[in-house]
């Protein structure tokens, strides 16, 4: 009887094909592909960010990618910005990616790590500051058109500043109480000065004089200013008001540019003997704000009060004007309730201590910057 079995030639060809296929898969498994990044710089440079971010096709621009921005994060970074085209609002999305080498079965593989992201920033901006921090800006949605037409474009923006701290980007305050409360605004003012614009913050004397008029509403004729000492970058000034015991010790610094063209910023302003506990004010604060401090020259009859100003130096609504109490030993404390529609905005806190009487002037003042959450 004739036996039917596989053709030997067919068997040989099949075995050869199987061996070739197995060899291909073994090579793919144990050898890195030329197309796969083998280190973090390559991955950050060649990553498919539209796919990673999951951009809707045709609805947004191709991301703008900046590699290794100088953010002092101690690791390679990709700074990604995407302008949205889906609406007439001109909004911006911002991403920061890091990279780490993850151990797999066969080898170390670079892996993207999302470190920071913000979405739908109205007329948004994102930049790296001269202090190696991240500045994020967006149009303040609470400003009406009637108010905007009276402002410079940079005054209409709300800026947040972030620094790499404790393995993450953390919002930080800009150490200025006047003329602006954010580094981004300060850098824009400095650029105007460098371009030849005459600004009232070119020296400590005019800076403090302008602050007394614009922020404290002191009459020019009754204001006296003495520059106690001044270096290239720091100045100490005494500010006093006629017919009053009120005086302020003011410190100014060239925070943005340290040469002779650098503009001056007020970094501290307080009456002698008035001290505020800053330990609870260094991070973004939600209402109510806890306030503690001491007035060493205190008279218990003084009436303490607190005011808040938003990022445009416009007064915010405080819900309890009598928030603070002053003890006979000079200790003061209280909780300040307020309304804030812009989480994270840089703000200004003004403490005043006034004798009883309708027309009394304060005996002591203190200005400090805070972040309101």
Q: Please tell me the total count of domains within the chain.
A: 3
- The domain boundary residue, chosen from 217, 247, 270: 270
CA separation, residue 76 to residues 65, 98, 151, 165, 364 (Å): 13, 6, 39, 16, 49
Is residue 138, in this structure, part of any structural domain at all? yes
User: Widest CA span of the chain, in angstroms?
Assistant: 131
CATH code for position 209:
3.30.200
The verdict on residue 17 lying in a domain is no
Q: Are residues 287 and 315 in the same domain?
A: yes
Residue 51 in domain: yes
Does residue 34 lie within any of the structural domains?
no
Same domain? For 255 and 359 the reply is no
Q: What is the CATH classification number for the domain harbouring 314?
A: 2.60.40.2550
Tell me, yes or no, whether 245 and 288 share the same domain. Answer: no
pLDDT for 7: 63
Averaged pLDDT for residues 151-169:
93
Distance CA 202, CA 207 (A): 7
| Stretch 30-59: mean pLDDT | 77
At 10-22, the pLDDT tens digits run 655 665 556 555 5
Residue 55 pLDDT greater than 90, yes or no: no
Same-domain status, 102 and 152? yes
C-alpha distances (whole Å) from 118 to each of 80, 115, 155, 373 are: 11, 11, 21, 16
Q: How far is CA 351 from CA 269, 324, 356, in A?
A: 11, 9, 16
Q: Which of 34, 54, 44, 119 is nearest to 84 (CA)?
A: 119
Q: How many Å apart are CA 209 and CA 229, to the nearest integer?
A: 16
Distance of CA 214 to the CA centre of its chain: 25
Last residue of a domain, one of 126, 156, 172: 172
Residues 250-288 pLDDT 10s: 999 999 999 999 999 999 999 999 999 998 888 899 999
- My answer on whether 48 and 87 are in the same domain is yes
Task: For the chain, state the CA radius of gyration.
Answer: 30
Buried/exposed 29-48: b ≥16 CB within 10 Å, e otherwise: eeeeeeeebeebeebbeebe
Q: Are residues 167 and 204 in the same domain?
A: no
At 125, is the pLDDT very low, low, confident or very high (cuts 50, 70, 90)? very high
**Any bridge partners for residue 108, and if so which?**
103
User: Residue 23 pLDDT more than 60?
Assistant: no
Q: Give 83-88's long-range contacts (Cβ < 8 A, gap of 24+).
A: 84/59, 84/60, 84/120, 85/59, 85/60, 85/61, 86/56, 86/59, 86/60
Residues 291 and 358 in one domain: yes
Tokens of 89: 């609002």
Report the C-alpha gap between 232 and 209 in whole angstroms.
20
* DSSP secondary structure code for residue 178 in this structure: B
Could you tell me the two tokens for 105?
């079965």
- Report if residue 6 sits inside a domain: no
In a domain, 98, yes or no: yes
The answer to whether 324 and 293 have CB atoms below 8 angstroms apart is: no
Classify residue 144 as exposed, middle or buried by CB count within 10 Å of its CB (0-12, 13-18, 19+): exposed
255 and 292 share a domain? Answer: no
Using CA atoms, how far apart are residues 348 and 266, in angstroms rounded to an integer? 12
Q: Are residues 265 and 279 in the same domain?
A: no
Here the tokens at position 29 are 């498994």
Do 243 and 262 form a contact (C-beta atoms < 8 A)? no
Please indicate, yes or no, whether residues 266 and 278 belong to a single structural domain of this protein.
no
Predicted TM-score (pTM) of this structure: 0.85
Q: Cα–Cα distance between 264 and 268 in angstroms, integer?
A: 12
Query: Which residues form the domain of 90?
Result: 40-172
- pLDDT category at 26 given cuts 50, 70, 90 is very low
Q: Are residues 103 and 223 both part of a single domain?
A: no
* 36 pLDDT more than 80: no
CB 175 within 8 A of CB 371: no
Using CA atoms, how far residue 153 sits from 137, 312, 362, in Å, is 12, 12, 35
Determine, yes or no, domain membership for 11: no
Note the Cα 353 to chain centre separation in Å.
Answer: 31
Do residues 215 and 226 make contact, with C-beta atoms less than 8 angstroms apart? no
49/152 same-domain check: yes
Residue 357 lies in a domain: yes
Given a cut of 70, whether residue 31 has pLDDT beyond it is: no
The residue out of 122, 156, 172 marking a domain boundary is 172
């Amino acid at each position: 009887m004739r036996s039917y079995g596989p053709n030997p030639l067919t068997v040989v060809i099949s075995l050869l094909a199987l061996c070739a296929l197995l060899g291909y898969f073994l090579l793919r498994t144990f050898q890195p592909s030329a197309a796969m990044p083998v280190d973090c710089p390559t991955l950050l440079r060649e990553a498919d960010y539209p796919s990673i971010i999951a951009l809707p096709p045709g609805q947004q621009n191709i991301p703008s990618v900046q590699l290794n921005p100088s953010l002092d994060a101690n690791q390679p970074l990709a700074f990604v910005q995407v302008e949205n085209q889906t609406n007439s609002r001109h909004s911006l999305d911002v991403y920061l990616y890091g990279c780490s080498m993850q151990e797999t079965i066969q080898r170390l593989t670079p892996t993207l790590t999302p470190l920071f992201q913000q979405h739908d920033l109205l007329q948004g901006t994102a930049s790296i500051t001269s202090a190696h921090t991240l500045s994020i800006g967006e149009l303040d949605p609470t400003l009406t058109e009637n108010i905007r037409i009276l402002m410079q474009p940079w005054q209409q923006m709300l800026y947040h500043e972030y620094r790499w701290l404790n393995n993450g980007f953390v919002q930080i305050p800009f150490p200025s109480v006047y003329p602006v409360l954010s580094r981004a605004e300060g850098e824009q003012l400095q650029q105007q000065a460098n371009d030849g614009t005459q600004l009232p913050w070119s020296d400590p004397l005019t800076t403090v004089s302008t602050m007394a008029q614009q922020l404290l509403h002191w009459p020019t004729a009754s204001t006296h200013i003495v520059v106690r000492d001044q270096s290239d970058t720091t100045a100490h000034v005494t500010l006093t008001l006629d017919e009053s015991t009120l005086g302020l010790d003011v410190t100014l610094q060239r925070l943005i540019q340290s040469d002779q063209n650098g503009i001056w910023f007020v970094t501290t302003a307080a009456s002698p003997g008035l001290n505020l506990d800053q330990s609870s004010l260094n991070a973004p604060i939600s209402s109510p704000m806890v306030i503690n401090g001491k007035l060493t020259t205190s008279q218990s009859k003084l009436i303490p009060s607190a005011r808040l100003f938003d990022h445009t130096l416009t007064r915010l609504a405080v819900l309890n004007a009598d928030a603070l109490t002053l003890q006979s030993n000079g200790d003061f404390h209280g909780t300040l309730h307020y309304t804030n529609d812009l989480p994270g905005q840089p703000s200004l806190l003004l403490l005043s201590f006034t004798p009883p009487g309708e027309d009394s002037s304060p005996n002591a003042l203190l200005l400090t910057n805070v972040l309101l959450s």
